[in-house]
Amino acid sequence: MSVLRKRWQYVVLFVGLAALFLLPAYSSESTVSFVNRVLIAIVAVQGLNILTGYTGQISLGQAAFMTVGGYASTLLVTQLGWNFFFALPVAALSAGVVGLIFGLPSLRVKGFYLVMATLSAQFIIPWITRNIYGDILHGAQGLNVPVPIIKLPVINNLCFFGTQFDGELGACVYRFATSDQFIHISLVVVILSTIVAHNISRSRLGRALVSIRDNDLAAELLGIDPFAYKLKAFFIAAVFAGAAGAMLAHNLRHINSVTVNLTDSILFMGMLVVGGLGTSLGPIFGATLVILLEEIATVMSPWVISVLPDNAAGATAALRPLIFGLALIVFLIFEPRGLAHRWKLTKAAWRMRPFSR
């Protein structure tokens, strides 16, 4: 079944995407960097959705796989001189391989115990970046990450497509230096990852994953190899995380062992729950809402300081997790199926008008 069935849906999609691509032209830098953060989080949560939402394997390792992707892409660019656009997919795949290793316990353990096993990734991987190969990884200090560039040859002493001549490299160069430029990379990756995630959900692979989530014994008796598909889910989730991590590193221009950490893994899980587990739209809704709440926390902090002047630092630091935790509890109680489910109900009500209440 087609995803878009009516002409107006195509129009809305096109206008929406155009508005996002042209965002830097009409918005402040802080808005663009906010949207950029949301986009990168969406990719990571989409990966987690494949693993937790569809396959039912709870994982707290997503941020660790982002770290792998970030480091891998940085090293490919700085040590091997690769272009970022080749380093990104390779970094994503290498994160996938690491994800595969941490997915191996899923053969034997389920639920709570699997959470513990994936949690180990969150401790082992940052430890490795801090303590091993100090000459390359620079320990706890981390790495500075170069700006992604597109190089084009000089034609008739002119540069095309908005590139500028760079004397040092002797070529026309476009730099994705700030979020204003980087957002275009994030947008393209989000569009691709959304298409892939949705395709998974509507085909053989997705049905096999959901069968394992809903009844792994029945799935096995119906000819689905649970272990093989669980590993595939771990691999895909980590590939998504790796891509997100690579983007984050090149956007922040710096990465170390705590750039993305356990808190982020928990945040991703929260985004998924708020957005809706096992739906294609859930990660998009969830990431947007949770990061929006973080922004609100930032905006609210002057007010909190004025109310609690004696403990200003502690109060502002506590504000973000407080709001996040509150939102999570509210969703678990009132809409455990997340914003995506609410969206579905709203659409159904709209189609049924004027008979829906």
Partner 1 sequence: MTPNSGLLAVRDVSLSFGGTAALTDVSFDVQEGEILAIIGPNGAGKTSMLNCISGFYRPQEGGIFFKSADLTKTPTHKIAPLGIARTFQNIALYTGLSTLDNIMAARHIHMRQRSVESMLYWGRAQREEVEHREVVEGIIDFLEIAHIRKSIVGALPYGLRKRVELGRALALESDLLLLDEPMTGMNVEEKEDMARFVLDIHEQRGVTVVLIEHDMGLVMDISDRVVVLDFGVKIAEGLPDEIKNDPQVIQAYLGEV
CB count in 10 Å sphere of residue 98 = 24
Binding range to partner 1, per CB under 8 A, among 19-27, 155-163, 169-177, 218-226: 218-226
Residue 225 CB, nearest approach to partner 1 (Å): 4
Check residue 3 and report its DSSP letter. Answer: S
Residue 114 CB, nearest approach to partner 1 (Å): 19
Binding range to partner 1, per CB under 8 A, among 153-161, 219-227, 252-260, 348-356: 219-227
Residue 242 CB, nearest approach to partner 1 (Å): 16
341 binds partner 1 (CB under 8 A): no
Of 103, 148, 206, 276, which one interacts with partner 1 (CB under 8 A)? 206
3-state SS of 230-248 is: HHHHHHHHHHHHHHHHHHH
DSSP string for 157-199: TB--TT-EEETTTTEEEEE--SHHHHHHHHHHHHHHHHHHHHH
The C-alpha R_g of the chain, in whole angstroms, comes to: 22
214 binds partner 1 (CB under 8 A): yes
218 binds partner 1 (CB under 8 A): yes
151 binds partner 1 (CB under 8 A): no
351 binds partner 1 (CB under 8 A): no
Find the helix or strand (DSSP H, E) in which 298 lies: helix 282-307
Nearer to partner 1, 5 or 204 (CB): 204
Binding range to partner 1, per CB under 8 A, among 193-201, 262-270, 282-290, 318-326: 193-201
220 binds partner 1 (CB under 8 A): yes
200 binds partner 1 (CB under 8 A): yes
223 binds partner 1 (CB under 8 A): yes
221 binds partner 1 (CB under 8 A): yes
Binding range to partner 1, per CB under 8 A, among 18-26, 69-77, 192-200, 248-256: 192-200
CA–CA gap between residue 99 and residue 97 (Å, rounded): 5
Burial 140-149 (b: 16+ CB within 10 A, else e): eebbebebbb
340 binds partner 1 (CB under 8 A): no
Q: What are phi and psi of 257, to 5 degrees?
A: -70, -15
CB count in 10 Å sphere of residue 103 = 27
CA–CA gap between residue 293 and residue 5 (Å, rounded): 33
Binding range to partner 1, per CB under 8 A, among 92-100, 101-109, 217-225, 299-307: 217-225
Binding range to partner 1, per CB under 8 A, among 4-12, 28-36, 72-80, 206-214: 206-214
Closest-CA residue to 68 (of 15, 122, 109): 122
Nearer to partner 1, 32 or 51 (CB): 51
Q: What are phi and psi of 297, to 5 degrees?
A: -60, -40
Which residue ranges make up the site for partner 1 (CB under 8 A)?
196, 199-200, 202-208, 210-211, 213-215, 217-226, 232, 278
